[in-house]
Structure 1
Amino acid sequence: MVLMADDSLPDYKALWKQETELRRQVEEARRQVEEARRQAEEARRQAEEGTRRTTFEEFIRACHNLLSLQVEVGDKSHSTGSLTKPTGRLCPQRLRNWADCLDSQQQLYNSVRKFLHAPEEDAPRLFSSVHSLEDFRRNHCSRPLRSEKDLETYEQLAVEDNVRYVIAELCKIPDAREEFKLEDGVQFDNHANALTDVESDKPDVKDQSSVRLPVPDKFFYRVKGNTNALFTTAEYKPPHKLSVESLRAGLRPMDFYDKVVQTVKIPTNRDEKLRYYAEQLTGSALVQQYNVMIGKGLEYSYITNGLALVLLRVCADDPSTLYYCLCEPNREVGLADDKSLKQPRTAVSRVLCLCLMSLRSRSRKQRWRNRAIRQLHTWKMDFDYAWAQIPEDERRQTPPSSESQVSEYLASSLSESPQPDLRRPNTRSQTGCRPQETMHPSESMDSSDSDPNQASSGRKRPLNLITSLPPSQQRSRQIGSQSDRVGRRQHHTAKFCTQRCLLSLQQGGMLDSLCPNVELHRQGRASDRHLISSERL
């Protein structure tokens, strides 16, 4: 007997599959609804965050991400300009690394954050919204930098106005206004018309023919009632003329007058030639601003090409030495690097801190200026003239930089000297305002003290073809240079620390978040400072 299957019975397996698929579709629909709700909430939150006013740190981050990181260098061929005949400019005897600049700025920045972004309480929202900064960038700062005029516009809108914005908020806080000596606020202009009680820029010395009157690109002045007093200045150099690479190659501690001003023989070796051009170009820019600092009696100033800043200092007791600090915000601060935003590494925070340093500084009187002018050499050189002397094909080439050797040298020589220069590898320098080589009018400056072998080194010493001595020193000149001492390069297998990391180790400062060994330095602890000293190392 054969049993036949009953076709009327339901197919339970098929029904189970249908129900499972239906449940899956319902769950997927629910998940999609939840995801849509989450995305809508996130969009609402982002819109709210974008339109609400920002805290100090949010503002600094937005300025960096939206303005500094977005800057572009345009086609070099679009830049034109008339060539200025070189005239005499005051120039320093020595160029030295400003070793304590970063720590000094960090202290000021900590004070600013104390007033505007106190960690123990909710930070006030005092500054422009992210959306407004985005609109501002699209409307005003999206143009590539093709000329000095483009750079001036960019610096005014993207950097200086935002610095003034922060200082205006500090002025509303009585303790901050007193601590930073802000008075009634600050203003920035490209002329000196608003300044009051301006001392004559014309030096009160017998021989004025070789000194060019200083005219900076930007005047920064403090407002106090009806008076406006200059406290610092800025100089703009377009990045296709003064590149970051040229600054890296041209900035190093040296006897500037001998190594740059009196060197006119162009080397034949390719790398040496490009380094020579970088030193001439960077040196002419430095001298232009140094001339302003001496003529205006300023302690601080800076040069910018839109991508990097060179912070400058002239100490009252040694006007013949120019101190420098090269800063590259877009290289030092990452897109989402919150930790580095607690340090003044962005363009806005660098200029802000330099302004605050300058506001605390005393302007030098005319007597100091005249005394300095009598001690200083002059250099008949102009930046555009120096740039025009570089052949077109060599302008496009990148000069060699000793930057790749810095960490290697420092790692092997840190313990050799109590105060090494931690930003450049090939010399050691004083870090304070009383170097051993301070120039005094009464000191002998006879050129016969110079190295007799220097003339045979392949770099010719000319007879005042483009330089002149100050009137009071026609018969004497001080050579304040020291012999450079270069440590033996050693082979290392581990990654080298950054210059700032080693500098902070030497000075007991903050860790550099960009150092490849930062986690090793922390030794598993939540610390932003080195846990050992340079002496122990």
Structure 2
Amino acid sequence: MAEKEIEDLKKQLKEARAREENERREKEEAKAREENERRKNQRTTLAEYLYNCHFDLYQKLRLAGPSESSTGLATSVDGKYYPRWLRPWRAFTDSQRQEHFDDIIRICGERRVFQQESTTRDNGINFERKKADLTFINGIRNFKDLNEDIGAETKTGRGKQQPDGGGIRTGIDENESPAFMYDYKAAHKFAVEDLEAALERETLFMDVYEWAQTDQYKTDSTLRTKEREAARITMALIQVFNYMLWYGVGYGYVAAGKSLVLLYYDRAEPLVLRWHLCVPDKMVIRPTAELHVEQVSQTAVAQLASFCLLSLRSQALTGRPLKDAMDQAEGILKKWKREAYTDPVTPQESDDTDSSSSMPSRGTDKTFACDESPVARKYPLRSKSSCKDSTAPLESRDEDEEGGAEGYQRQRGAGASVNKGEKDSSRKSKDKGTGGSAPAPTKQYCTQACLLGLKLGRKLDSRCPNVLYHGVGGNTRHPIDAQELTKLMSEQLRQDPYGSCDALIGRRKYGSSGVLFKLELARFGYTFVGKGTVSARPTRLEHECSIYQRLEKLQGDVVPVHLGMVSFRPGYLLPGGAYVIHIMLMSWAGVAMDTTLSNLEWEVQRSIQTIYENGVNHQDEREPNLLWNAERCRVMVIDFDQATVLPPPKHKRLLGHVHAGEGPHAIRKAINLLFPDRPETPHAGQLVGHYSDEGWGDVVFTVSHDLDTNKTVLVGPREEATFRHTFVLEHITGDYWLVKAAMLGNSRYTDKFFSAKFVAGWDF
């Protein structure tokens, strides 16, 4: 074979191999593109999702510059508690963060249940096109807004009263309690380098306190520029620290731009606030070919998830434990611009006496009792946790408590630390206890018949679950009356506001004007509810009491039994720092209505109408204020703080005619009084008259004739907030008419309307 032919063959072979390689490469690229598209549009694992969030969301955030935001100091913290020492939260940094993230990864596994990559990327593009923004909607209640004496929370000089938000734990029993508090700060006020420099200063709080007292701080421009950043950071930390104290939680954080400062406070070392700085940009810099869990655990979402899981290990303090903890704070902590830490104490990181034993008490020797350390304690993974932006009964038989306004366990586990001082002090405080106190109410609620009998001096109700506690010496009558019950309850609350008294906040039993309590009169076992307010002058509560007095005939049937009002000081401390000092006592109304009941709407209208007929317009007929009472088999109405008393009827003489019992003659007189100029034969048109029933004013009647049925009817519509009644005067035969009352949305007629006065044939 000629050499030229050989060369041609080699060339052809080379070209064939090149074509084959090119085809293979194109197939691989097509397959890769297909796989990439499939991956982008398929659900992701947790690790993949966190990875995508970091690069497609977190790194796309564009933050406003200093020129677009205020440049002053943070909200005033004057008069608020501040810690002495600021120390690293090494337990979280070294172990807890990774351990909890590993738990999350283990639970989620490789299940693809999170958003696909394409969705995350699209969200990131939206972030990139506009500067990030935050809307502060307050969902964390401090209950000070119930105070009628304060016109607005934002009074000049009062400082910020509520956190921007918090994590809310929802237990298996649906009881809610806070897990942590947080605040947002403008990114330009918290540059990473300033945060790092400030947090490394163990004496930051004392240093800034000293600077703030000097004239040099106010006039020296160099110092003002340098130290103002530290002052902003200090005030932000103090703010969240106080939220943590008053809400009874050990965890909080400050979010500033792309940085998070996670905070932990162990009341066993009450002078120390611990921190962990989360700056993912420094830890997760660029995407990698392979996804590493260690890298993902450093992202902002992963670290915050670990923080949230850790916070579930401890219960928020409420009631007496919260009060004892705040008494401890008052005795040990100083207040900003009021007192400085002046005694010479050398901080000793590993010494368990570095805080509480070194500081002199200022008026209290009470100690806070921790339960087991979170390191040893297991958190309930079945609990639900949620973050809410800024806006429990002990026995199963009381699980559906619903007795008042719209609608915490007692101990908290102290957080752990790698330091010996943290562990030992936690163990010591655990053993000390809180001292003797009456338990939370455990009895079932007394029946309506029981408390109504107490008020009216009747016999005991044998069906009341607490009847054996009421009887004294075999007496079949109540041992006390409502006035004596109110007096005894007032004395009991003055002696111990937290004994046999439990705020039902965890069940969301609070509203615009009050917080619901479960109360138990220890001496006689009477168990009922109370609506508490923090106002020094409880105008709205007093108004509600007057409405209940107006509806006295309906108590125990349509509305709860009103037992009186008690006042006691210093009061009952609520999460957030407000004190309840007035409580209105009443019977337990019932549970949330079962929306599947076929005649529920009619039952609601029946109760509302009965109240109206007794001279009261409720004006707030929302579901939380309409409860089902199984004992009375009807809807019971609560919350009368917005109710108004109706004016008396204008034509009282008509009332006498209607009630005179004169039969058709009285009816004829009533019709003539209502419609003196009526035609002999009704025609379509409008007739205006006054109806006489107590509490009613003008009523407009319309006469119309139906040509199809050849019926002439007299219709009187009356509009209310949520319902309407239609009164029909129907022609029966000859000169006889029948009056019926129909409920809107219900074809059922009732012959009991207007006390069954117009149920016979009328000689029109």
Shorter-chain TM range is 0.5 to 0.7
2:328 aligns with: 371
Whichever residue aligns with residue 106 of structure 1, its letter is Q
Q: Residue 436 of structure 1: CA displacement?
A: 1.4
Contact preservation (8 Å) 1:216, 1:235? yes
Larger Rg: 2
Determine which of 94, 112, 115 is the counterpart of 2:85: 94
* Structure 1 position 342, deviation (Å): 6.4
Letter of the 1:247 partner, please give it. Answer: L
Counterpart of 2:356, as a letter, is: T
> What pairs up with 1:144-159 in 2 under 5 angstroms?
145=131, 150-152=132-134
CA contact (8 A) 2:46 2:108 kept: yes
- Of 36-45 and 305-314, deviating more is 305-314
State the 1:283 CA deviation: 0.9
What is the CA–CA distance in structure 2 between the aligned matches of 1:251 and 1:260, rounded to whole Å?
A: 12
1:3 aligns with none
- Over 3 Å counting, the alpha-carbon distance change for 1:191 and 1:307 in structure 2 is same
Match of 1:107 in 2: 99
1:39-73 Cα distance to aligned partner (Å, 9 max, x none): 00111111112211111211221212222233233
Aligned pair 1:362/2:315, yes or no? yes
Alignment of 1:65-80 (within 5 A): 65-80=55-70
1:149-298 maps to which residues of 2 (within 5 A)? 150-152=132-134, 190-192=137-139, 212=159, 214-224=161-171, 227-264=175-212, 265=214, 266=216, 275-298=226-249
Q: Determine if contact 2:248/2:317 at 8 Å carries over to the other structure.
A: yes
Q: SS in structure 2 opposite 1:262?
A: helix
Are the aligned partners of 1:301 and 1:311 in contact in 2 as well (CA < 8 Å)? yes
Distance 2:231 2:116 in 1: 43
**Change in CA separation of 1:94 and 1:85 when aligned onto 2, cut-off 3 Å:** closer
Distance 1:316 1:442 in 2: 16
Contact 1:54–1:130, Cα closer than 8 Å, also in 2? yes
Distance 2:206 2:73 in 1: 26
1:348 deviation in Å? 0.7
Deviations 1:176-226 (A, max 9, x none): xxxxxxxxxxxxx94236x6xx676999xxxxx997563111222122455
Match 1:132 to one of 119, 123, 129: 119
Q: Distance in 2 between matches of 1:37 and 1:66?
A: 29
The partner residue of 1:59 within 39, 46, 49 is 49
**Rounded Cα–Cα distance in structure 2 between residues aligned with 1:288 and 1:60:** 30
Over 3 Å counting, the alpha-carbon distance change for 1:84 and 1:261 in structure 2 is: closer
What letter corresponds to residue 116 of structure 1 in structure 2? Answer: C
Which residue identity is paired with 2:123? F
Q: Which amino acid aligns with 1:306?
A: G
The verdict on how the C-alpha distance between 1:74 and 1:256 changes in structure 2, with shifts beyond 3 A counting, is closer
CA distance in structure 2 between the aligned counterparts of 1:55 and 1:431, rounded to whole angstroms: 41
The answer to whether residue 284 in structure 2 is matched with residue 333 in structure 1 is yes
Structure-2 change in CA distance of 1:83 and 1:322 (3 Å): closer
- SS of the residue aligned with 1:278? helix
Distance 1:116 1:249 in 2: 37
Q: Which amino acid aligns with 1:359?
A: L
**AA matched with 2:85:** R
Residues 461-484 of structure 1: CA deviation (Å, up to 9, x unaligned): xxxxxxxxxxx69xxxxxxxxxxx
* Residue identity opposite 1:152 in structure 2: L
Residue 436 (1) aligns with residue 422 (2): no
- State the SS of the aligned residue for 1:101: helix
Q: Which digits, 9 at most, give the CA deviation of each residue in 1:443-474, with x for residues without a partner?
A: 48xxxxxxxxxxxxxxxxxxxxxxxxxxx69x
Q: After the TM superposition, which residues 290-439 of structure 1 pair with which residues of structure 2 at under 5 Å, given as runs? A: 290-334=241-285, 335-336=287-288, 338-339=291-292, 341=294, 344-365=297-318, 366-367=322-323, 368-379=325-336, 430=349, 434=352, 436-438=354-356
Residue 38, structure 1, aligned to residue 25, structure 2: no
Q: Secondary structure at the match of 2:211?
A: coil
Percent identity for Structure 1 against Structure 2: 21
Calculate the aligned-residue CA RMSD, in Å. Answer: 3.9
Do the aligned partners of 1:72 and 1:144 also contact (CA within 8 Å) in 2?
Answer: yes
Q: Does 1:142 align with 2:128?
A: yes
Counterparts of 1:252 and 1:200, CA distance in 2: 35
Quick one: higher RCO (CA 8 Å, sep 6+), 1 or 2? Answer: 1
- C-alpha distance in structure 2 between counterparts of 1:327 and 1:431, whole Å: 25
> SS of 2:178's equivalent?
strand
Residues in 1 aligned to 2:270 and 2:238: alpha-carbon distance in whole angstroms:
13
* TM-score, L = length of structure 1: 0.55
- The answer (yes or no) to whether the contact 2:262–2:277 under 8 Å persists in 1 is yes
1:144 Cα offset (Å): 5.5
From the superposition, tell whether residues 332 and 435 of structure 1 become closer, same or farther in structure 2 (CA, over 3 Å). Answer: farther
CA contact (8 A) 2:198 2:204 kept: no
Q: Residue 318 and residue 62 in structure 1: after superposition, are their counterparts in 2 closer, same or farther (change >3 A)? A: same
**8 A contact 1:90–1:378 mirrored in 2:** yes
TM-score, L = length of structure 2:
0.40
Deviation of residue 346 (structure 1)?
1.1
What amino acid maps onto 1:312 in structure 2?
L
CA 1:223–1:274 in structure 2 vs 1: closer, same or farther (change >3 Å)?
same
Taking the aligned partners of 1:314 and 1:202, their CA distance within structure 2 comes to 29
Q: Distance in 2 between matches of 1:212 and 1:364?
A: 24
CA contact (8 A) 1:303 1:311 kept: yes
Mark the CA change 1:26 to 1:46 in structure 2 (over 3 Å): closer, same or farther.
same
Counterparts of 1:229 and 1:287 in 2: how far apart (Å)?
A: 22
Question: How far did residue 251 of structure 1 move?
Answer: 1.0
* Structure 1 unaligned residues grouped into runs of 5+: 1-9, 118-122, 154-188, 204-208, 382-426, 445-471, 474-504, 508-537
Deviates more, 1:332-341 or 1:124-133: 332-341
Gaps of 5+ in 2: 148-155, 339-345, 365-417, 421-764
Larger % of strand: which?
Answer: 2
Partner of 1:178: none
Which has a greater percent of helix? 1
Tell me, in whole angstroms, the C-alpha distance in 1 between the residues paired with 2:194 and 2:328.
33
Count of residues in correspondence between the two structures: 341
> What SS does the corresponding residue of 2:162 show, helix, strand or coil?
coil
Secondary structure of the 2:81 match is: strand
- Counterpart amino acid of 1:437? S
Secondary structure, in 3 states, of the residue corresponding to 2:265?
Answer: strand
